[in-house]
Structure 1
Amino acid sequence: MKTILFVCTGNTCRSSMAEAIFRNLIKDVKEYENVRILSAGTWATKGQKASGNAIEALKDKNIDLSSHISKPLTKEMVEAADLILTMTENHKMQILNVLPGSSEKVYTLKELAHGKANDINISDPYGQNIEVYKGCAEEIEAALKKIIEGKFLNNI
């Protein structure tokens, strides 16, 4: 079984939304039935619920994020993952500073979707209004759709 790991800071907004959106996008795609999807945060506190606005933002997409529980990123999670998609370049660099040997499997979400573009970060909506969260969810979903359509996951 292959593992895809989404990473942000607190695992209550971006990476949790990415995990849930990705799960929803691939739920009926046969080639992804044996893919495990996880999320974690570089500074996450174990056991936190997803942000209320993150939960609300995904309701419009008929995705239920209410049962999400945050997890801190561990060395073991990084080592076990086949692909790690971070929300920012900073998250990527934090992982590579600790485990430089993982560089071939760590990308920012937008980097994998769009290549080395100028804007490869997903902005942090934490503490902002619902419209910012909805915009963030749209940005994540657009990148994930591009990754799926481009068959960028076929080699994991």
Structure 2
Amino acid sequence: MMTKVLFVCKGNICRSPSAEGVFRQLINDAGLGEVVRVDSAGTHAFHIGEAPDARAQAAARKRGYEINHREARQVSADDFREYDLILAMDWEDLSDLQRQCPKAYQHKLNLVMRFANEYEEATVPDPYYGGPEGFGKVLDYLEDACQGLLELVRKRATQYQAA
């Protein structure tokens, strides 16, 4: 059984494509690429069709993640049904998702930092209006959160294989 994870931020050009890139690399390295599907989207339509922010791409590339293949998209009604976990970067994104999401799927929504083990911050800060150092901080947070998330999907995959 496949586990489907959707990362969400405001415009889908900084944080959520970075999370997607980090998590995709982790699941591939763990040999889970066949049982975990990962994607990203934005709560708003600001950047639909655009590539990730050049600063996000540069920061990701420095750490060995490729995110340049992404095109920004907005969360769709189908996403709430299709994905098992829909992980927001901050409280505003989570609130936007909660307003859009049908009641039957609200349990799928959470903050990505819920899975962090090293950092105690509840949210991933938006680096868009800051300097390049903000993009490195975003990756620090996302690497931590995605490592915790990897443990969850690994357990899930193991449980399904055993059943």
Q: Normalization by structure 2: what TM-score? A: 0.84
Which residue of the partner structure matches residue 42 of structure 1?
43
Deviation of the 1:37 alpha carbon: 0.5
CA distance in 2, matches of 1:26, 1:15: 16
Deviation of the 1:127 alpha carbon: 2.8
1:59-138 equivalent positions in 2, closer than 5 A = 59-99=61-101, 100-113=103-116, 119-138=121-140
3-state SS of 1:30 partner:
coil
CA distance in 2, matches of 1:112, 1:136: 15
Is this contact kept in 2: 1:20–1:65, CA < 8 A?
yes
Which residue of the partner structure matches residue 16 of structure 2?
15
Q: Normalization by structure 1: what TM-score? A: 0.88
3-state SS of 1:56 partner:
helix
Calculate the aligned-residue CA RMSD, in Å. 1.9
3-state SS of 1:152 partner:
helix
Q: Are the structure 2 counterparts of residues 92 and 101 from structure 1 closer, same or farther at C-alpha, using a change threshold of 3 Å?
A: farther
Which residue of the partner structure matches residue 25 of structure 2?
24
Deviation of the 1:102 alpha carbon: 1.8
The 4+ residue runs of structure 1 with deviation greater than 3 A are none
Deviation of the 1:155 alpha carbon: 4.0
Gaps of 5+ in 2: 158-163
Gaps of 5+ in 1: none
